[in-house]
Amino acid sequence: MINKFLDNISSPEQLRQLNEKDLPAVCDELRQFIIDHVAQIGGHFASNLGSVELTIALHYVFNTPEDEIVWDTGHQAYPHKILTERKDRFDTIRKYKGLSGFPSPEESPYDTYHVGHAGTSISVALGLAKARDLKNKKHHVTAVIGDGALTSGLAFEGLNNAHNAKKFIVILNDNEVSISKTMGAFAKHFSKIVVNPKFRSFKQKTGAVISKIPLVGNVLTRIIIRLQGGIKHILAPQNVFENLGFHYIGPVDGHNVIEMIEILKMCKTETEIPILLHVMTKKGHGFKPAESDPESYHGVTPFDKNVGLPNGKKSTPTYTETFSEIICNAANENNKIVVISAAMCSGTGMTKFAHENPNRFIDVGIAEQHAVTFAGGLAARGLTPVVTIYSTFLQRAYDEIEHDVCLPNLPVIFAIDRAGLVGGDGKTHHGVFDISYLRHLPNMKIFMPRDKAAMEKALDFAIENNSPCAIRYPRGPILQNGYDLPDFSSEKITSWETLKSGDDVTLIAIGQMVFRAFAAAEILEKNGINTTVIDACAIQPIDENTLFQIIEKNNKIVTLEDHVLSGGFGAAITEKLSDKNCEYHILRIGIDDKFVEHGSIDELYSELGWHPKQLAEKIKNWISNE
């Protein structure tokens, strides 16, 4: 497809050379470019379709990269990447050794900060603005944040601290949807501002009349927009942003690129107080299937752009789907179970639970700290709260886990999705730190089931147990092809399961690594090395009986985990053996001291040396050198 304008734009400087009247066509071409390419390669979709006009307006008005833009979360920054010298490499996005799916300063000077988690943009941008002032520079700093991300407590901490900021703009990209529907009182507050009929009528009628006045129409329209702060005190509900010291402007149509440019130009002239520009956009704009179902089109695999996403489920259920089934069954038998989500109802597979148990499902928005402490309150009064959350999102609530759950020893269940490597989302989303930050907390129990049977036993234990429990499980199919094993059969989930016995070396693995350990053991057998394989579903407490029996039989141990080695499962085994003054030799296989980049799971496992043949070779070499 030949694009009249986009084909000739590789940088914001070239964009700024165009006439404003040509920009709607650029928006159409850019949106179609995203549709065409994401349909082929997958990635974040609906949010990027919604941010096209806003992105073009920002780069047209501001002198980027000198003027700095901070994108919150960053999953809506595909238009930004395409316009900032990366269009020709866009097909590599989220692929191994290709473009990151999120902004990355290592990738481009236009990316001002590493992002990936919600709610960070205002604080980051405020830090950049303060650094600018201290260095006596004069450029503008803009934070772009969604209405879902604004439910994050961190976002309001940033707003609270920004009242004296100069040349500082916060753009609230309000599409009424984060990943799941935006929840809570702030979402209701935004909707009151948007739908107030008196204010909208005043704005529309006044703007329509004044804009028709020759020569002065646009100037007076800008003046009226600047006066809207005072008008809203009379016509609209009290505005929280103005009370925080911001000059509030909006709401404005985020899909009218010409209007967006005029308003951003006006925002540039206000340099003494921070501005909050409220922009209304539609997630999935320009692609009807995504407009009608933005949650399903948040992140997509390749699809037919003429038809939309394929229907039906894959034959092999995922760990997420399996936990959904198990928790729904458990809730049918136990009316004390309450599920809590932090704006990830669909992502954590809780849509069915929410539908079947609307009074026992609470989505608190992007507020992980609140989710954990809220769960503590429920547990303190005899309920059984289950916090369903991604591993890297749970780490945002570390203090609450320690202070509000573990210290009072409350039976909160943490269902930790995306534990281990996650693929294309990369280093901001790999769940490879949670064992380290959980296992040293008193009263915490941690399990990583390899299959449905073990997951059911882990949840049963957690429900009956009277202390905090974490059940961690990865993204993807619950059994990987070629590594099928019988269902977990140990009578108690706290007892490790011996899958295979041998005299030369013992492999102790958790979760999906159990399958790879078993496959590696079969290869080692062919090389004359007899191997014991243990499924250590119980990470904490460690099954000391089985561990010390292993040491008595053979003191060569290999631990396998899809987690960092520092403070991880292998470290826990090492500590236990050292504390008992055991004589042992140990090889710990996991992630060394580094952040893992993005790529397919297969590619990342190959890079880390986790494929069975690689594991077998590494173990064989280690044994020969002992």
pLDDT tens profile 99-118: 999 999 999 999 999 999 99
User: Does the structure show a pLDDT above 80 at 247?
Assistant: yes
Per-residue tokens: 515: 């399958």
List active site positions.
283, 368, 396
pLDDT in tens, 270-306: 889 999 999 999 999 999 999 999 888 998 999 988 8
Residues near 481 by beta carbon (within 8 Å), at least 6 away in sequence: none
User: Does the structure show a pLDDT above 70 at 238?
Assistant: no
Which of 231-240, 282-291, 364-373, 443-452 has the least mean pLDDT? 231-240
Q: What is the mean pLDDT of the chain?
A: 89
User: Does the structure show a pLDDT above 90 at 208?
Assistant: no
pLDDT the model gives residue 600: 95
Q: How many of the other CB atoms lie within 10 Å of CB of 466?
A: 10
User: Does the structure show a pLDDT above 60 at 228?
Assistant: no
- Sequence ranges of the domains in the chain: 6-196+237-300, 319-472, 497-625
User: Does the structure show a pLDDT above 90 at 603?
Assistant: yes
pLDDT the model gives residue 184: 53
User: Does the structure show a pLDDT above 50 at 229?
Assistant: no
Q: Contact, 498 vs 506, CB < 8 A?
A: no
Distance, CA of 471 to CA of 312 (rounded, Å) = 28
The backbone torsions φ and ψ at residue 445, rounded to the nearest 5 degrees and listed phi first, read -110, 140
Q: Contact, 163 vs 274, CB < 8 A?
A: yes
Distance, CA of 321 to CA of 250 (rounded, Å) = 41
Instruction: Please report how the helices 23-41 and 257-269 are oriented relative to each other, as an axis angle in degrees rounded to 10.
Output: 110
Distance, CA of 620 to CA of 505 (rounded, Å) = 10
Per-residue pLDDT, averaged over 147-155, amounts to 90
Per-residue pLDDT, averaged over 221-249, amounts to 63
pLDDT in tens, 342-390: 999 999 999 999 999 999 999 999 999 999 999 999 999 999 999 999 9
Instruction: Please report how the helices 257-269 and 217-235 are oriented relative to each other, as an axis angle in degrees rounded to 10.
Output: 80
Long-range contacts of 356-364 (CB under 8 A, 24+ apart): 356/328, 356/331, 357/328, 357/331, 360/331, 360/335, 362/338, 363/180, 363/181, 363/183, 364/183, 364/184, 364/340
Percent of the chain whose predicted confidence (pLDDT) is above 70: 88
DSSP state at residue 602? H
SS (H, E, C) 2-30: CCCCHHHCCCHHHHCCCCHHHHHHHHHHH
3-state secondary structure of 533: strand
The backbone torsions φ and ψ at residue 15, rounded to the nearest 5 degrees and listed phi first, read -60, -45
Cis peptide before 109 (omega within 30 of 0): no
Q: Contact, 124 vs 72, CB < 8 A?
A: no
DSSP letters spanning 415-471: EEES-B--STTGGGT-B-SHHHHHTTSTT-EEE--SSHHHHHHHHHHHHH-SS-EEE
Say if 319-472 and 497-625 have the same CATH topology: yes
Strands 531-535 and 505-509: parallel
41: nearest Cα among 94, 102, 116: 94
Q: Work out the pLDDT band at 227, boundaries 50, 70, 90.
A: very low
pLDDT the model gives residue 270: 86
DSSP state at residue 410? -
Distance, CA of 59 to CA of 118 (rounded, Å) = 22
- Output the pTM of the full model: 0.88
Buried b (16+ CB within 10 A) or exposed e, 115-137: bbbbbbbbbbbbebbbebeeeee
pLDDT in tens, 116-144: 999 999 999 999 999 999 999 999 999 99
CATH of domain 319-472: 3.40.50.970
DSSP state at residue 200? H
The backbone torsions φ and ψ at residue 286, rounded to the nearest 5 degrees and listed phi first, read 95, -5
Q: Which fold has domain 6-196+237-300?
A: Rossmann fold (3.40.50)
Per-residue tokens: 11: 């940088």
- Left, alpha or beta for 250 (phi > 0: left; psi -120 to 50: alpha)? left
CATH of domain 497-625: 3.40.50.920
Q: How many of the other CB atoms lie within 10 Å of CB of 613?
A: 11
